[in-house]
Amino acid sequence: MRNLAKRVIFQTLNDKRSVALILIAPLLILTLVYFLLGDSDYVPVVVLDENVQTQLVEAFEAETLDVRLDTVDDPFGYLEDNKDVDAIFEATQEGTTITLREPSTKSSKAVREIQTALSALNPAADIEMNYVYGEEGQSTFDSFGYVFLSLFSFFFVFILSAMALVKERSGGTLERLLMTPIKRGQVILGYTLGYGVFAVVQSVFIVLYTIYVLGLTSLGNIGWVFLVMILMAGTAVFFGATISVFARSELQVVQMIPFTIIPQVFFSGLIPLDLIPYGLGNLSYVMPIFYGATAIKEVMVYGSGFAGIWGYVLGLIFYAGVLYLLNMRALGKYRGH
């Protein structure tokens, strides 16, 4: 038993990836969480009617709020047209109303600051909450379900493709295939199309199950959701192929997950980019899950069509193209040029 334990210890110490997984990965992830969940310097933008009492304006400005005065006839339309505004505050004889874009961390921060400002003027004020998208008290799954659609679409296809390609290479299948007249690009596209069939089936199942069984609401056409999911899955195949170049076994693919997949989860939309301190939100633009999750949110939460998601779709296509070129270059060493 003692000899077996020693063998396991020395084998693990000789595997740099295992040591990194045990010692370095937790520290990196904890550091990332520390920065992402640290104190945000974000200041919510609140619009008040330009004829509101000066006392109320001063009370709002005393809090951590960016107060703007404007004439608002239609709060819902105003928030749709002004993406930088977080809340509209209205105080009339009928009552006090706060209109927000959607239930989110940003909205909650705006409401807290508004309530603090009102507590000094009228602690007993009854506030009505309205949302342009979503509703008060909706479940966490309703708020973030779109994130998991993109995450699962990417993660499982990535695991399948990366492990299968490592197995193909370790078994010599890939080298024998490259000895034939087939081109490197055809090899990559062949693998992509092969796994893409399962990716399409997976995407259809996930979307239909989430909407019609779990009851996740989609304001837009789910056809656009299918398109984004399929693009995500295709990008995951290229991503898995790229990662497989650096792995000699299926275990090493798993060891790379904390460095390749987990960081993407934090930038997928679970935390609004505006609330991420130190400008770290800009890192999301180099992560494919961000583009997929944001596009799906645009369709399902905001009801956007292609005009609202084309930029994110283009981002996924560009990302897949870069990975395709990297895989072409990586396969060259197996053919000898």
Q: Say whether pLDDT at 318 is over 90.
A: yes
Half-sphere exposure of 180 (CA within 13 A, CB side): 7
137 phi-psi bin (left φ>0, alpha ψ -120 to 50, beta other): left
Instruction: Write down the mean pLDDT value for the chain.
Output: 79
Half-sphere exposure of 117 (CA within 13 A, CB side): 22
Task: Provide the pLDDT for residue 337.
Answer: 44
DSSP H or E stretch at residue 133:
none
Task: Provide the pLDDT for residue 327.
Answer: 81
Identify whether the C-beta of residue 69 lies closer than 8 Å to the C-beta of residue 50: yes
Q: Note the residue count of the chain.
A: 337
User: How many separate helices (H) and strands (E) can be counted in the chain?
Assistant: 15, 5
Q: Which residues have a Cβ under 8 Å from the Cβ of 281 and sit 6 or more positions away?
A: 267, 273, 274, 275
Q: How far apart are CA 287 and CA 284, in angstroms?
A: 5
Write the pLDDT tens digit of every residue in 258-304: 788 888 888 887 777 777 777 777 888 888 999 999 999 899 888 88
Write the pLDDT tens digit of every residue in 166-200: 877 777 766 676 677 777 777 777 777 777 787 77
Sheet of 87-92, strand order:
66-70, 45-49, 87-92, 95-100, 127-131
Write the pLDDT tens digit of every residue in 123-153: 666 778 888 887 776 776 777 778 888 888 7
Q: How far apart are CA 312 and CA 242, in angstroms?
A: 22
49 has which bridge partners? 70
| Cβ atoms within 10 Å, residue 153 | 27
Span 109-122, average pLDDT: 80
Q: What percent of the chain has pLDDT over 70?
A: 82
User: How far, CA to CA in Å, does 47 sit from each of 57, 73, 88, 95, 102?
Assistant: 10, 12, 5, 17, 16
| Closest C-alpha to 241, from 171, 284, 185, 313 | 185
81 phi-psi bin (left φ>0, alpha ψ -120 to 50, beta other): alpha
